[in-house]
Chain A
Amino acid sequence: MKIIETTNLTKFYGKNKGIEDVSLSINKGEIFGFIGPNGAGKSTTIRLLLSLIYPTSGQATIFGKDCFKYGHEIRNDIGYLPSEVFYYDKMRVKELLKYSASFYKGDHSKRIKELADIMELDLSRKIDELSYGNKKKVGIVQGLLHQPKLIMLDEPTSGLDPLMQQKFFNLILEENKKGATVFFSSHILGEVQKLCNRVAIIREGHIVKIEDIKTLRNDNYKKIAIRTNNHNQKVFKIDGVSNIEQIDGEISFFFKGDINTLLSLITKNKVNDVIIEEPTLEEIFMHYYK
């Protein structure tokens, strides 16, 4: 059974396009990455799936049920972590989590404690005293406390330090092993690559590509900058090099292919400095998905 399925999902805010013709199909047990720059329509898609907003046209189902008719039933089995977490300020963390848990069947107090211990969250504090990162932790506990079958994450790592990010990723992987499907939206390619099986790339409201993460990895472009006084950019024009530019003594380009070929070329020519880095998502979009 498909966990999430959308067909030509379209949302316009007045004349402004949110998303257009988004068709996705996510299988049970997948960790599905949803990646795109800010304002590409990631949050819009998630909010549609949660029926916080309604589509201009198109359909969406979760667990085989229409999102907009049976939203309240579907949400029983969804855990959602929004990109920015806002809760009732005056409540204590414990009260808020208890309140949230009271809407789901069963007793979740043990799980709340477990999750809070893992995320090192102090349950006795007031929400409005918490830092951004700590609020995010409340969001994580609140989103996972009812052991949802589908976990939706919207830019989940912002505000968490690297150690906490790791703990959080482990939590998600654990839930995934237990059978939860994960829908993971982010603008950071690296974290999506680390976690996901498949990735959809969204840009300006359109799905540009849906790919297996392995394929994307083989597509691994590197961004190279070489500082040299002696050479002309022509030296580096080999197979796999694109978008080559020379500004004074610095030659920069993208490279895709066997890295050894490039390294031996660099050693053959005397250079002052080399920088090899991952291109940012924006750069990938600009150069390869146009």
Chain B
Amino acid sequence: MNIILRELRASIKSMVIWCGVFTILIFMYMSEFSAYANNEEMLAVLDGMPEAMLEAFQMNSFNLTTLTGFYGILFTYFILMLSIHAILKGNSIISKEERDRTVEFTLVLPIKRSKVVIGKLIAVIINCIIIDVFLYGIILFSIQSYLPEENFMEFLLLLFTSTFIMQMLFLSLGIMFGCALKQYKRSGYLGISIILISYVLSIVSGLSEKLEFLKYITPFKFFDTAVIKNEMALDWKYILISFTIIVICLTIGLITYKKRDLYI
């Protein structure tokens, strides 16, 4: 419990920054949206763009002039940002003890290593939830002056659910790297590389039907916002895959951290 509280207190600053960044982004995008909203000319411009480009940026499936369409596209970026946040945070919350050399203090306290990891994990989960709830609130606030489409609220909740699953997936990957790798510098690079590679793969997979198999490899295709919009549901298959990955990563992390020499 004391570990959770300490970690939360230590991450207040970064949480405030993340919330601030999202506030600014939402208001910037909403002022942009005010120009798109129900704008017929805009639709015509979009129709004139090359097919492949629209496909790559998901604009084929969404109508930018509606709230659903606008947020459907925005969320592909929000999910990317929040995934980066989750993997870095998961990695650093473990490895910072070795980086800052505080490990000789924390792990000499009478507590099992696994409990330290679990405490830190819970702290990051709370951290993610706070940012998500804040983002949700700010979005609700920003759309006040518009009349949302019929299923917009339902769609938004589905987006947030898939975002949260993605955050947990990348968080558990980050925790695993932080726990398993003795070299804290490498684990950070590895986390970022994995995110960027999977993101690029998710874009590439939309370009050609031959590359469609990639959707099983990259988590960014697990919960495609376009699919969510059409089905108005998350695919159970991918929820299950995500859950399995999370459990596997956390188990590997806990086991390796328990057994390895700490880097002092």
Contact = CB atoms under 8 A, between A and B. Distances in A.
Contacts of B262: 52-53
Interface string B80-102: 00000000000000000000111
Contacts of A89: 100
A1 B84 CA distance: 53
Given A88-B10, A88-B102, A90-B10, A50 B108 contact: yes
Contact of B109 (A82, A88, A100): A100
Interface stretch (A69-77, A197-205, A214-222, A242-250): A69-77
Given A52-B262, A99-B2, A72 B112 contact: yes
A13 to B, nearest CB: 8
Contact of A103 (B10, B104, B110, B260): B110
B261 interface: yes
Interface string A132-155: 000000000010000000000000
A80 B108 contact: yes
A236 interface: no
B110 A73 contact: yes
Name the residue among B2, B108, B110, B264 with the largest chain A CB count within 10 angstroms.
Answer: B108
**Size range of the interface on A?**
20 to 34
A102 interface: yes
Contacts of A50: 108
B264 A52 contact: yes
Contacts of B109: 75, 100, 103
- How many chain B residues sit at the interface, stated as a range, is 20 to 34
Contact of A99 (B6, B112, B260): B6
B111 interface: yes
Contact of B101 (A73, A84, A103): A84
A102 B2 contact: yes
A17 B112 CA distance: 28
A86 B97 CA distance: 10
A52 B109 CA distance: 11
B146 interface: no
Interface string A35-68: 0000000000001001011100000000000000
For A52, A73, A80, A100, which residue has the most chain B Cβ atoms within 10 angstroms?
A: A52
Which 7 interchain pairs have the tightest Cβ spacing?
A: A53-B261, A86-B101, A76-B110, A75-B110, A103-B109, A72-B112, A102-B2
8 contacts: A75-B108, A75-B109, A75-B110, A86-B100, A86-B102, A103-B2, A103-B110, A142-B105
